[in-house]
Amino acid sequence: MIESIGMNAGLVWNALNEGGRMDVKSIKKATKIKTDKELYAAFGWLAKENKIAFEEEDANLMVSLI
């Protein structure tokens, strides 16, 4: 499971690196990560490594690279 979280974290990082700041729905679409649980685990991995930042905008969670 840890390996798949790390792989998904890489997908999220690549999507943000290529596309810039995105909302959660756009990241899920860009990465093709199937479940919210998998996506948020990847966010947790990247947040722990201090690689991403979260911001709320018009009731949407926006994510960007630091």
Contacts of 26 (CB under 8 A, 6+ apart): 19
**Number of neighbours of residue 60 by Cβ within 10 angstroms:** 13
Residue 60 Rama label (left phi>0; alpha psi -120 to 50; beta): beta
CATH of region 2-65, choose from 3.20.20.140, 1.10.10.10, 3.40.50.720, 2.60.120.620: 1.10.10.10
Specify the residue for token string 């999507």. Answer: 15
pLDDT at 1: 87
Indicate the DSSP class of residue 63. Answer: E
Could you tell me which of 37, 41, 53, 54 has the C-alpha nearest to residue 10?
A: 41
Task: Tell me the whole-structure pTM to 2 decimals.
Answer: 0.94
What does the pLDDT look like over 21-57, one tens digit per residue? 999 999 999 999 999 999 999 999 999 999 999 999 9
